[in-house]
Homo-oligomer: A and B are copies of this chain.
Amino acid sequence: MPPIFENNAQRDQYFMFEALKEAKKAFKKEEVPVGAVLVQNDKIIARGSNQVEMLKDATAHAEMLCLTAGSSALSNWRLLKTTLYCTLEPCTMCAGAMLLSRIQTLVWGAPDLRHGANGSWIDLFTNDHPFHQIEVRSRVLEEECSLLMRSFFQTRRQKSINSVFGSDESA
Contacts and interface: CB of A to CB of B under 8 A. Distances in A.
Nearest to A113: B130
A96 interface: yes
Contacts of A99: 92-93
**Interface size grouping (class) on chain A:** 35 or more
State how many copies of this chain the complex holds: 2
Interface in A74-93: 75-79, 91-93
Given A58-B77, A92-B92, A121-B129, 8 more contacts: A56-B71, A57-B72, A58-B97, A58-B101, A91-B96, A93-B97, A95-B96, A122-B127
User: Nearest 4 pairs between A and B by C-beta?
Assistant: A93-B96, A92-B96, A58-B77, A58-B100
A115 B130 contact: yes
A68 B57 contact: yes
